Amino acid sequence: MAKVLMKGNEAIGEAAIRAGCVHFFGYPITPQSEVPEYLAKRLPEVGGKFVQAESEVAASNMIYGAAGVGVRVLTTSSSPGISLMSEALSYIAACELPVVVVNVMRSGPGLGGILPAQSDYLHATKGTAHGDFKMIVLAPASVQEAVNLVILAFELAEKYLNPVMVIGDGMIGQMMEPVEFPVEGVGKPLDPGNWALTGCKGRGKRIINSLYLDPEICYRHNLKLTAKYEEIRKAEQRFDTYNTDGPYDLLVTAFGMTSRIARTAIDELAQEGQRVALFRPITLNPFPYEALRAAASKAKRVLDLEMNMGQMLQDVRMALGPDAAIDFFGTAGGVVPSPDQCREKMLESISKTGSRPKAKGARRNP
């Protein structure tokens, strides 16, 4: 299929349709509003349902209702709206329903601003809402990858009966890039299985519920969920690396669009003979700790780049331990780091390693 030039938010909406999701409930918020706008136009064309909810609180409970009756369903929002959806995500995770939520991140805290940020990392991966639950969190670094990960998100949500979040910064939502879509309907219809509320004809009644007043039963429910998260941790770690084939002095860690900016700086430095590699987690949860440890073992130092004040940094530190040499550079508030800034920070980190630049194309002594 030919490539089309598309804005990220619209491509996310189209990707959901290609995955077989024709139900959307959402609320406008910059910088994700093009998703509901696009789907308001497209969903009636494919026999789907679009509802503009009165709030993100309502939208997130509408997807709870739609998933509960056994249909594939999407909502999208941006940081402050995702905060409002968090309560429902706890219920959805507790009830083990498959939903996909896209967060096109803007800056915070509070109302923050409307420009790109990555400051919901910890919210998405560690503390979305009350109770012990985890989402699968996927972070695209291009519009094409956003399309691919939205489709994957539905597969994972239905495989594990768990909410999956695709988390991109405002740039992913707003920029246009060429994308290629799989043919329509790659997703098989959702199998309502033995859990969906479809009316109890020919069977006993079903209940979708997260209230367990008996502490032992609630404890067992938590153990069951935890076992599922462990299964996800083992099976679903995804990451990407760049320049890791040869030797390198510095390993840069970055996710989403920050990794694209880092690559530009890495390529520039390579021209100067500096050996810098990149490790990019695609699943922010489950975080690829072992793979990062392996990649970092070849480097003298690690530089973590993020558009926040050091959130993934906690996972990088957890992966590499307290003795690892880790530098951090973060921007926030909607300020996007330039390749030059990243280059400067990389050079600073390299200078701490005592390594000298190798002439371009030079081989390391055996």
* Site map 100..129 versus other proteins, x via CB under 8 A: ------------------------------
Instruction: Write down the least CB distance from residue 69 to other proteins, Å.
Output: 5
Q: Give the β-pairing of 164-169 and 176-179.
A: unpaired
Instruction: Write down the least CB distance from residue 64 to other proteins, Å.
Output: 6
Instruction: Write down the least CB distance from residue 70 to other proteins, Å.
Output: 8
Q: Judged by CB, which is closer to other proteins: 67, or 152?
A: 67
* Site map 35..64 versus other proteins, x via CB under 8 A: --------------x-x-xxx-xxx-xxxx
Question: Under a CB-based contact definition with an 8 Å cutoff, are residues 355 and 299 in contact?
Answer: no
25 binds other proteins (CB under 8 A): yes
Q: Give the β-pairing of 176-179 and 4-7.
A: antiparallel
* Site map 174..213 versus other proteins, x via CB under 8 A: -----------------------xxxxxx--xxxxxxx--
Q: Judged by CB, which is closer to other proteins: 86, or 285?
A: 86
Separation CA 318–CA 159 (nearest Å) = 28
Closest CA to 344 of 275, 269, 277, 278: 269
Three-state DSSP class for residue 29: coil
Q: What single-letter amino acid sits at 246?
A: G
# residues near other proteins by CB under 8 A: 38
Give me the half-sphere count of Cα atoms (radius 13 Å) on the Cβ side of residue 217. 6
Instruction: Write down the least CB distance from residue 177 to other proteins, Å.
Output: 31
89 binds other proteins (CB under 8 A): no
Q: Judged by CB, which is closer to other proteins: 183, or 211?
A: 211
85 binds other proteins (CB under 8 A): no
Q: Judged by CB, which is closer to other proteins: 207, or 362?
A: 207
Axis-axis angle for helices 289-296, 312-320 (nearest 10): 70
CB atoms within 10 A of CB 176: 13
Q: Judged by CB, which is closer to other proteins: 61, or 144?
A: 61
Q: For 258-282, give one letter per residue: b (16+ CB within 10 A) or e.
A: bbbbbbebbebbeeeebbbbbbbbb
Separation CA 121–CA 31 (nearest Å) = 17
**Of 28, 37, 40, 69, which one interacts with other proteins (CB under 8 A)?**
69
Instruction: Write down the least CB distance from residue 45 to other proteins, Å.
Output: 17
Q: Which two tokens stand for residue 90?
A: 């706890």
CB atoms within 10 A of CB 287: 23
Q: Judged by CB, which is closer to other proteins: 25, or 328?
A: 25
Q: Judged by CB, which is closer to other proteins: 53, or 141?
A: 53
Q: Hey, CA dihedral for 285, 109, 171, 57, is it positive or negative?
A: positive
**Of 37, 87, 155, 268, which one interacts with other proteins (CB under 8 A)?**
87
Interaction site with other proteins (CB under 8 A): 23, 25, 49, 51, 53-55, 57-59, 61-71, 73, 87-88, 91, 197-202, 205-211
